[in-house]
Amino acid sequence: MVEHNILLEKISYIEKNLAFLESLSNKEEKGFLDSPFFTGSAKYYLQTCIEAMLDIANHIIARERYRAPDNYVDAFRVLGEQGILPAKDLPAFYQIARFRNRVVHLYQEVDNKEVYKILQTGLDDFSIFIQAIMTKFFSNTTS
- Tens of pLDDT along 12-46? 999 999 999 999 999 999 999 999 999 999 999 99
Give, as one character, the DSSP assignment of residue 88.
G
What integer pLDDT is reported at residue 16 of this predicted model? 98
Triad 92, 67, 140: Cα angle to 5°: 70
Cα 52 from chain centroid (whole Å): 7
Share of the chain above pLDDT 90, in %: 94
Q: How far is CA 1 from the centre of its chain?
A: 22
Does residue 100 contact residue 93 with C-beta atoms inside 8 Å? no
Q: What is the pLDDT of residue 143?
A: 45
In single-letter form, the type of residue at position 78 comes to: V
Domains of the chain, CATH where assigned = 4-138 (1.20.120.580)
Q: What is the pLDDT of residue 139?
A: 86
- Which residues of the chain carry a pLDDT beneath 70? 140-143
Termini Cα distance of the chain:
9
d(CA 137, CA 18): 21
